[in-house]
Protein backbone atom coordinates (compact mmCIF):
# COMPACT_ATOMS: atom_id res chain seq x y z
CA UNK A 1 0.00 0.00 0.00
CA UNK A 2 2.86 2.38 0.83
CA UNK A 3 4.49 1.70 -2.56
CA UNK A 4 1.30 2.72 -4.37
CA UNK A 5 1.08 5.95 -2.38
CA UNK A 6 4.71 6.76 -3.12
CA UNK A 7 4.15 6.17 -6.85
CA UNK A 8 1.01 8.33 -6.84
CA UNK A 9 2.71 11.09 -4.87
CA UNK A 10 5.76 10.89 -7.14
CA UNK A 11 3.60 11.17 -10.28
CA UNK A 12 1.60 14.03 -8.80
CA UNK A 13 4.83 15.85 -7.94
CA UNK A 14 6.15 15.36 -11.49
CA UNK A 15 2.90 16.65 -12.97
CA UNK A 16 2.92 19.68 -10.65
CA UNK A 17 6.50 20.55 -11.61
CA UNK A 18 5.68 20.13 -15.30
CA UNK A 19 2.64 22.41 -14.98
CA UNK A 20 4.72 25.04 -13.18
CA UNK A 21 7.35 24.98 -15.92
CA UNK A 22 4.75 25.21 -18.68
CA UNK A 23 2.93 28.10 -17.04
CA UNK A 24 6.22 29.97 -16.60
CA UNK A 25 6.99 29.44 -20.29
CA UNK A 26 3.52 30.66 -21.25
CA UNK A 27 3.98 33.85 -19.26
CA UNK A 28 7.35 34.43 -20.93
CA UNK A 29 5.89 33.94 -24.39
CA UNK A 30 2.92 36.23 -23.78
CA UNK A 31 5.15 39.02 -22.50
CA UNK A 32 6.11 40.14 -26.02
CA UNK A 33 5.44 43.58 -27.48
CA UNK A 34 1.81 43.87 -28.59
CA UNK A 35 2.44 46.59 -31.18
CA UNK A 36 5.03 44.48 -32.95
CA UNK A 37 2.59 41.57 -33.13
CA UNK A 38 -0.19 43.75 -34.52
CA UNK A 39 2.16 45.27 -37.10
CA UNK A 40 3.34 41.81 -38.15
CA UNK A 41 -0.27 40.61 -38.52
CA UNK A 42 -1.09 43.73 -40.57
CA UNK A 43 1.85 43.07 -42.89
CA UNK A 44 0.88 39.44 -43.38
CA UNK A 45 -2.77 40.23 -44.12
CA UNK A 46 -1.78 42.92 -46.62
CA UNK A 47 0.61 40.52 -48.35
CA UNK A 48 -2.18 37.96 -48.80
CA UNK A 49 -4.72 40.50 -50.02
CA UNK A 50 -3.48 40.74 -53.61
CA UNK A 51 -3.66 36.96 -53.99
CA UNK A 52 -7.14 36.97 -52.46
CA UNK A 53 -8.30 39.64 -54.89
CA UNK A 54 -6.97 37.67 -57.84
CA UNK A 55 -8.75 34.59 -56.47
CA UNK A 56 -12.02 36.55 -56.31
CA UNK A 57 -11.58 37.61 -59.94
CA UNK A 58 -10.90 34.01 -60.97
CA UNK A 59 -13.98 32.77 -59.10
CA UNK A 60 -16.00 35.50 -60.81
CA UNK A 61 -14.76 34.34 -64.20
CA UNK A 62 -15.64 30.71 -63.46
CA UNK A 63 -19.09 31.67 -62.18
CA UNK A 64 -19.58 33.77 -65.31
CA UNK A 65 -18.72 30.86 -67.59
CA UNK A 66 -21.00 28.47 -65.71
CA UNK A 67 -23.77 31.07 -65.77
CA UNK A 68 -23.35 31.62 -69.50
CA UNK A 69 -23.72 27.89 -70.15
CA UNK A 70 -26.81 27.66 -67.89
CA UNK A 71 -28.45 30.66 -69.57
CA UNK A 72 -27.65 29.26 -73.02
CA UNK A 73 -29.24 25.93 -72.10
CA UNK A 74 -32.38 27.63 -70.80
CA UNK A 75 -32.58 29.87 -73.86
CA UNK A 76 -32.27 26.90 -76.25
CA UNK A 77 -34.89 24.90 -74.36
CA UNK A 78 -37.36 27.80 -74.60
CA UNK A 79 -37.81 28.47 -70.87
CA UNK A 80 -39.74 31.61 -69.96
CA UNK A 81 -37.49 32.65 -67.06
CA UNK A 82 -34.27 32.98 -69.09
CA UNK A 83 -33.90 36.70 -68.42
CA UNK A 84 -34.33 36.19 -64.68
CA UNK A 85 -31.63 33.49 -64.61
CA UNK A 86 -29.32 35.60 -66.77
CA UNK A 87 -29.73 38.57 -64.45
CA UNK A 88 -29.00 36.42 -61.39
CA UNK A 89 -25.81 34.91 -62.83
CA UNK A 90 -24.63 38.23 -64.24
CA UNK A 91 -25.37 39.94 -60.93
CA UNK A 92 -23.33 37.41 -58.99
CA UNK A 93 -20.33 37.92 -61.26
CA UNK A 94 -20.58 41.69 -60.98
CA UNK A 95 -20.92 41.39 -57.20
CA UNK A 96 -17.69 39.40 -56.88
CA UNK A 97 -15.73 41.85 -59.02
CA UNK A 98 -17.19 44.96 -57.37
CA UNK A 99 -16.65 43.65 -53.84
CA UNK A 100 -13.01 42.85 -54.55
CA UNK A 101 -12.43 46.26 -56.13
CA UNK A 102 -14.24 48.22 -53.39
CA UNK A 103 -12.41 46.44 -50.59
CA UNK A 104 -9.12 47.06 -52.40
CA UNK A 105 -9.80 50.79 -52.71
CA UNK A 106 -11.40 51.13 -49.26
CA UNK A 107 -8.37 49.77 -47.43
CA UNK A 108 -5.89 51.49 -49.76
CA UNK A 109 -4.11 48.33 -50.76
Most confident of the following: 19-23, 52-56, 67-71: 67-71
CB 85 within 8 A of CB 70: yes
The pLDDT-based confidence of 2 (bands split at 50, 70, 90) is: low
φ, ψ at 78 (rounded to 5°): 85, 25
Model-level pTM? Answer: 0.52
**Where along the chain do its domains lie?**
1-31, 45-109
Determine the pLDDT at residue 45: 81
55 pLDDT above the threshold of 80: yes
DSSP letter assigned to residue 32: S
User: Could you give the CA distance from residue 90 to residue 71 in angstroms, rounded to a whole number?
Assistant: 10
Residue 9: the pLDDT is 47
Number of Cβ atoms within 10 Å of the Cβ of 91: 11
- Specify the higher pLDDT residue, 74 or 109: 74
pLDDT classification of 78: cutoffs 50, 70, 90: confident
Nearest-10 Cα torsion for 58, 60, 61, 65: 140
Collect all residues with Cβ–Cβ distance below 8 Å to 85 and sequence separation of at least 6: 70, 71, 74, 79
pLDDT in tens, 25-54: 555 555 567 788 888 888 888 888 888 888
Amino acid sequence: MKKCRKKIVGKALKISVLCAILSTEAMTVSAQDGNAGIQQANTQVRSYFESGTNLMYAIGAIVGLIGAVKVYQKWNSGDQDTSKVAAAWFGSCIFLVVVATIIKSFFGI
